[in-house]
A = this chain, B = another copy of it.
């Protein structure tokens, strides 16, 4: 069985016999397909040292040269997309069209990194005082790190290191130990694109590796995406250790269905937003809040019907709409939350608890599930399910719907379906959520805007990727300059030494 190791100084580290390892599953079959070495302290420190050593030359490389490597990287990612998507499918379970979509989003972040010469421009003022000038530079931080989740194994690393690196930093990536292969593939392509060794290093590992990254004083910043409890731990620990940090956590994304919404369009949009990638997305739309029973009834009817066509299955068949969830444990957790909703009085309208996937009986599958009459007291409402489950809450007014959203601890994404300009504007202005859709159920900002939730969905001042990430991965230096007369200009100094 293959063992996946680390990438330090552009070399795959040799396997050591005394390392701890963890299994990597194929979620569609439920079988272990590989194992991954879990980095010990020494290995992580070796990666940090490699990044530290590469830093001085890299920070002095002109931004345009750094960006040139990103241009080439983008080419290579496109050329190798199928191969990467295959790796994602095998270890994560998502269907190829979904893996390709994920990768495309990541590539768009590489494109944004290509803009570095523009993005790194500082502000210059002539004459802040008489013959005194002042300007700002956005300088690199040094060695920085990213810790990324299982659910977008190819994309989330690309949210982070292209921008970090193009800003002049060097990087240590710790991807999810459940599906590290695609991240390693992608990192190798960046080296193929011309990245000097040591600028990007990848270590696999678990909490032991993470804690080294959080404690080592050479690491200047941490970007994290994962669940809220871990995000909070990462953020607090990193800050206590003098590091800059942004830590993105969980979500519970609601869509309000207004009485005037185009219901066919809404249902069509919600299908993908709720069940795509088995709901294992921090932007998954998991709660539909219908305003008025008329809207709710129509939604339930049309949605149940539309869900009949959904296919759950293995990533190898691209006709499937979505695949398994990540582990046996997670499958059981999702099913348990559906059970709890039912026990709490909600109505399971479409039941995905026992999906039949011929030939993949041991896979970690959950079928698309629709639950009506959910209320805010239920555990299934309060927690993030992270599975293919859409819950419907019925309310009497838009005001009530908005209050519910604002009261939830998470504030990642949300959406309203309406045709009315005023309702949309009121909603987007007043909702306490960082990413808002108007008739767009999955309002993931494009790569040239920034991604970030509010409340307990994000810890930190600055959002991920896009303009905010430039500021996150640089520190401001402000220079004030005055040249006192030296006589050279006034020509008093002709006998100046040649």
Interface size on A, residues (CB 8 A): 117
Complex: A363 Cα to B460 Cα, angstroms: 45
Q: A491-B291, A496-B260 are in contact. Are A480 and B75 (CB under 8 A)?
A: no
A114-148 to B contact mask, C-beta < 8 Å, 1/0: 11011111111111111111111100000000000
Q: Is A471 an interface residue (CB 8 A)?
A: yes
Q: Which residues of B contact A236 (CB under 8 A)?
A: 236, 239-240
Q: Are A62 and B133 in contact (CB under 8 A)?
A: no
Residue from B114, B292, B428, B478 in contact with A494 in the complex, judged by beta carbons closer than 8 Å: B292
Chain B neighbourhood of A471, CB < 8 A: 461-462, 471
Instruction: Please state if A117 and B446 are interface contacts (CB–CB under 8 Å).
Output: yes
In A450-473, the 8 Å CB interface with B consists of 450-452, 454, 456, 459-463, 467-468, 471-472
Per the bound structure, the CA–CA distance linking A63 and B476 in Å amounts to 23
Distance, CA A414 to CA B438, complexed state (A) = 25
Chain A, range 418-438, C-beta contacts under 8 Å to B: 418-429, 433-438
A-B contact pairs, 10 of them (CB 8 A): A118-B119, A121-B125, A122-B125, A123-B124, A292-B491, A434-B477, A443-B480, A444-B480, A454-B475, A463-B478
Name A residues whose Cβ lies closer than 8 Å to a Cβ of B.
Answer: 60-64, 67, 71, 74-75, 108, 111-112, 114-115, 117-137, 235-236, 239-240, 242, 244, 258-260, 262-263, 265, 291-292, 294, 298, 396-399, 418-429, 433-440, 443-452, 454, 456, 459-463, 467-468, 471-472, 475-486, 488-491, 493-496, 498
Complex A-B, nearest 7 residue pairs according to Cβ-Cβ distance, in ascending order = A422-B483, A438-B481, A124-B124, A420-B488, A421-B483, A443-B480, A423-B489
